[in-house]
Amino acid sequence: MRFTYYGHSCFAVEVAGKRLLFDPFISPNPKAAHINLADIKADYILISHGHEDHIADIDTLAKSTGAKVISNFEIIYWLGNHGVEGGHYMNHGGSIKYDWGTVKYTYAFHSST
């Protein structure tokens, strides 16, 4: 397993030959100004919730990498309206098994989520 931290809430995990990217907030983050979005690779992008500091680069990265986005229904629906197709929506408490592991969707308990 390999872990890459991009700043704030964004990180990547490489596991079982797949690259998982979590909560892509890079381009508006001044502490991540040195990171080029074009250099980021992902097979899956997991979104915890819809705050800007967790989804700022989601449409750009989903389109450029072809990654499957995993999140709740509302975020996947919103992304579909922005040209990001093929996402996998989940309900809170639900889980799904992939060949690289299991994702369980839990609540992001903090302001306005």
CA 2 to chain centre: 17
Q: For residue range 60-73, list pLDDT tens digits in order.
A: 999 999 999 999 99
The predicted structure's pLDDT at residue 112:
60
Under-70 pLDDT residues of the chain: 108, 110-113
End-to-end CA distance of the chain: 30
- For the sheet containing 68-72, what is the strand order? 2-7, 10-15, 18-22, 44-46, 68-72, 88-90
d(CA 19, CA 13) in angstroms, rounded, equals: 6
**pLDDT score recorded for residue 113:** 53
What domains, with CATH codes, occur in the chain? 2-104 (3.60.15.10)
Instruction: Name the pTM for this structure.
Output: 0.92
> Residue 23 burial (CB < 10 Å; 0-12/13-18/19+)?
buried
pLDDT of residue 45: 98
Tokens describing residue 71: 């999140």
Structure tokens at 35: 């990171």
